[in-house]
Amino acid sequence: MKRSRKNILVVNDDGVYGAGLKPLARALGQLGRVVVVVPERERSAASHAITLHKPIRVRKLEPNFYIMNGTPADCTRFGVIAMMKEKCDLVVSGINHGANLGADTMYSGTVGAAKEACMLGIPALAVSVTTKEEKPHFDTAARMAVVVAREMLNRGLPQHTLLNVNVPNHPWRSLKAVLVTTLGRRIYGRALSPRTDPRGQTYYWMAGAVPRGVAEPGSDIAAIEAGKVSVTPLKLYLTDDAFLPDLRRWRWSIRK
Ligand code: MN
């Protein structure tokens, strides 16, 4: 028998107090039953880390709403394996408060949580609103997530591929277009700012300013600069196929 109602897992890296969580979970309710599993505190930039060396505790706050002392990727694993009573049809990670463009996707816990879903064989989507401003248009990003999620549920995704969506901080009515993009090139500052603690010891802040980007045509960075929604397909496995033939011609002798 075909199940009509879809089961959707919502995770994030901004944690239970992240302001993008509730608007996303509410909007996805249109598409199916939503289960939320999120970190109990912010875990931005946790990438794809999982917790192996300390106990993991889970707390149920409401029906279908859990928090845990783990990473975003832990939340995906636990959600899919333990909290979802039925098969999980889709994992949506976000809405992140801040852009995940170019190499941000390597550091991002939002993307890490979606990658974990992809590894578990579930279609996954990471959603971010591209501003650090106090009160972003999370409603716009939530509606956009529903548009993308509906397509994913209808069409599926290639194996080992996930989607990374960045939404400009505009009201819904002034969204211009949706562009399918490539990852652009982010430029991070290199500042390591030393300070002195009350005991005279030096400590540091990674003090780089907001990263800049190269707006190559067709890239996610260019789309956002143009005020458009960016949808990038990401591959899980990073082998550089084009370089393989050259690399095979290197001298690999290990004769003793
Ligand atoms: Mn975050």
Q: How far is the CA of 45 from the centre of ligand 1 (A)?
A: 7
Q: How far is the CA of 13 from the centre of ligand 1 (A)?
A: 5
Q: How far is the CA of 49 from the centre of ligand 1 (A)?
A: 14
Q: How far is the CA of 135 from the centre of ligand 1 (A)?
A: 15
**What six digits make up the tokens of 104?**
């941000």
What residues pair up with 81 in beta bridges, in sequence order? Answer: none
Residue 51 CA: distances (Å) to CA of 10, 63, 208: 19, 25, 28
For residue 1, pLDDT over 60 is answered with no
Q: How far is the CA of 185 from the centre of ligand 1 (A)?
A: 20
pTM attached to this predicted model = 0.95
User: 48 and 11 in contact (C-beta within 8 Å)?
Assistant: no
Q: How far is the CA of 48 from the centre of ligand 1 (A)?
A: 13
Per-residue pLDDT, 3: 62
User: 126 and 73 in contact (C-beta within 8 Å)?
Assistant: no
Q: How far is the CA of 132 from the centre of ligand 1 (A)?
A: 10
pLDDT mean across residues, the chain? 96
For each of the domains in the chain, give its residue range(s) and CATH number, in order of start. Answer: 6-185+214-248 (3.40.1210.10)
Q: What is the mean pLDDT of the segment spanning 127-131?
A: 97
Q: How far is the CA of 197 from the centre of ligand 1 (A)?
A: 28
Q: How far is the CA of 9 from the centre of ligand 1 (A)?
A: 17
Residue 105's Cβ-count burial label (10 Å; 0-12, 13-18, 19+) is buried
Give the dihedral of Cα atoms 54, 16, 26, 62; nearest 10 deg.
70
- Rounded CA gap, 202 and 206, in Å? 13
166-183 pLDDT, tens digit each: 999 999 999 999 999 999
Q: How far is the CA of 253 from the centre of ligand 1 (A)?
A: 46
User: 33 and 108 in contact (C-beta within 8 Å)?
Assistant: no
Q: What is the mean pLDDT of the segment spanning 230-256?
A: 96
Phi, psi of 49, rounded to the nearest 5 degrees = -60, 145
Q: How far is the CA of 30 from the centre of ligand 1 (A)?
A: 24
Per-residue pLDDT, 207: 76
11-35 pLDDT, tens digit each: 999 999 999 999 999 999 999 999 9
pLDDT > 90 in the chain, percent? 91
Q: How far is the CA of 61 from the centre of ligand 1 (A)?
A: 21
Provide the pLDDT confidence category of residue 2 given band limits of 50, 70 and 90. Answer: low
Per-residue pLDDT, 98: 97
